[in-house]
Structure formats: structure tokens, C-alpha cells
Amino acid sequence: MPADPGAIRALAHRLRTQADDVRREADRLVALLDSTPWHGRTAEAARARGRERAGVLRGTAALHDTAATALDRHAHEVERRRELIAHVERVVAGLVEEAVQTAADGGARVRELVVPPPGAREWLDVDVRSVAAVLEREAA
């Protein structure tokens, strides 16, 4: 079975939460630097370095957001493929049932048809028209 979309979305949520935490830390760092009663060239250098680090933290937060968005897209695609797999399974099951009902031998050969396990990704490779043609020949 493909990945769990709920688990994927939960991971995306955790990444967004971490991104928010990292942004807050960057803001806190800048606020601390700005509120420190320290003067002179060394103080300015430290503040500049701190702001630079805060920028890196914000960049990291943005990467977390980007990853979360990608995970959300992936979860959507997993759901879409699961629905497609289920649809192909239903169509093939209907074709098999119809062939069994109409087969002269009671569908003995049709029942031997090997299909992927339920929910398997291999259902996406099934050519339903070819299956229908084979089953039609078997039923005749």
C-alpha cells in the first residue's frame, strides 16, 4: 500500500511548526541584540553577525515551509493514485464477474486470472481494455 497521506500531512504540519519556531528564534535573537546596552565597533560587529545568523535561520524556516508544501502536494498525489487504483480494481472486478457469469465453462479459466493484490501500485499498470478483451475471449 502506498504511503499514508495523513502521516505525510502530519509531517508537513510538524515542518511548518518548526519553521514558525525557527522564525521566532530569529526574531528573538535580533531583539536581544538590539536591546543589549553595548556600544562600539565590537558591539556593532556582534549585532551584524547576529542579524546575519538570524537571516540564515529565516532561510532555514523558508526551506521547512517549502518542504512542507512539497509534502502536502505528495499527500494529494498519493490520495489521487489510491483513488485511481481503487477505480481500476473495481472495473477489473466487474469485468471478471461479468466474464464468470457468461463463460461457458462457468468461469473456471477466468477465475485463474492473476491480478495485483488489493491497493497495490501495480494496478496503475493494468490496461483495462486489454483485460476486457482477454476476458471477452475467455467468456466466448
Cα gap 13→71, rounded to integer Å: 9
Per residue in 67-113, pLDDT (tens digit) is 999 999 999 999 999 999 999 999 988 888 888 787 777 777 777 77
Q: How many domains does the chain have?
A: 1
The CA distance from 14 to 37, in Å, is 37
Confidence of residue 2 (pLDDT cuts 50, 70, 90): low
Confidence (pLDDT) at 135: 77
pTM: 0.76
Q: Which domain holds residue 121?
A: 5-139
Asked if 89 and 118 count as a contact pair (C-beta separation under 8 A), the reply is yes
What does the DSSP 8-state code read for residue 125? G
| pLDDT, tens digit (0-9, with 9 covering 90-100), for 30-64 | 999 999 999 999 999 999 999 999 999 999 999 99
